[in-house]
Amino acid sequence: MNKVAITGLGAITPLGNTVNEFWQNIVAGKSGAGMITKFDASKFKTRFGCEVRNFNPEEYIEKKELKKYDLFTQYAIAASEQAIKDSGLDFKSMELEKLAEIGVIWASGNGGIGTFEEQLKEFYAGDGTPRFSPYFIPKMIADIAAGVISIRHGLHGPNYCTVSACASSNTALINAFDLIRMGKALIMIAGGSEAAITPASMGGFGASQALSKRNDNPAKASRPFDKDRDGFVIGEGAGALILEEWEHALKRGATIYAEMAGGGMAADAYHLTGTHPEGLGAAFGISKALADAGIGPDKIDYINTHATSTGQGDISELLGIRKVFVDIPVPISATKSMTGHLLGAAGAVEAIISVMSVRNDIIPGTINTEILDEKIPAGMNIILGKSLRQPVNYALNNTFGFGGHTASSVFTKAQIMS
pLDDT truncated to tens, each residue of the chain (418 aa)?
A: 899 999 999 999 999 999 999 999 999 999 999 999 999 999 999 999 999 999 999 999 999 999 999 999 999 999 999 999 999 999 999 999 999 999 999 999 999 999 999 999 999 988 888 889 999 999 999 999 999 999 999 999 999 999 999 999 999 999 999 999 999 999 999 999 999 999 999 999 999 999 999 999 999 999 999 999 999 999 999 999 999 999 999 999 999 999 999 999 999 999 998 899 999 999 999 999 999 999 999 999 999 999 999 999 999 999 999 999 999 999 999 999 999 999 999 999 999 999 999 999 999 999 999 999 999 999 999 999 999 999 999 999 999 999 999 999 999 999 875 4
* Architecture category of domain 4-251 in CATH: 3-Layer(aba) Sandwich (3.40)
Catalytic residue among 50, 153, 276, 306: 306
Strand 237-245 relative to strand 302-304: parallel, antiparallel, unpaired?
unpaired
Q: How far apart are CA 330 and CA 169, in angstroms?
A: 24
Where do the domains of the chain lie?
Answer: 4-251, 262-412
Asked if 410 and 394 touch (Cβ cutoff 8 Å), the reply is: yes
pTM for the full model? 0.97
Q: How far apart are CA 287 and CA 291, in angstroms?
A: 6
Cα dihedral 354/217/370/285 (nearest 10): -30
Asked if 287 and 264 touch (Cβ cutoff 8 Å), the reply is: yes
Assess whether 276 carries a catalytic annotation: no
262-412 homologous superfamily: Thiolase/Chalcone synthase (3.40.47.10)
Assess whether 50 carries a catalytic annotation: no
Q: How far apart are CA 301 and CA 332, in angstroms?
A: 9
Same fold, 4-251 and 262-412: yes
What are the C-alpha distances in Å from 259 to residues 23, 178, 247, 410? Answer: 19, 13, 12, 9
* HSE-CB for 176 with a 13 A CA cutoff: 37
Catalytic residue among 50, 166, 276, 405: 166
Q: What was the pLDDT predicted at 273? A: 87
Q: What was the pLDDT predicted at 417? A: 59
Assess whether 341 carries a catalytic annotation: yes
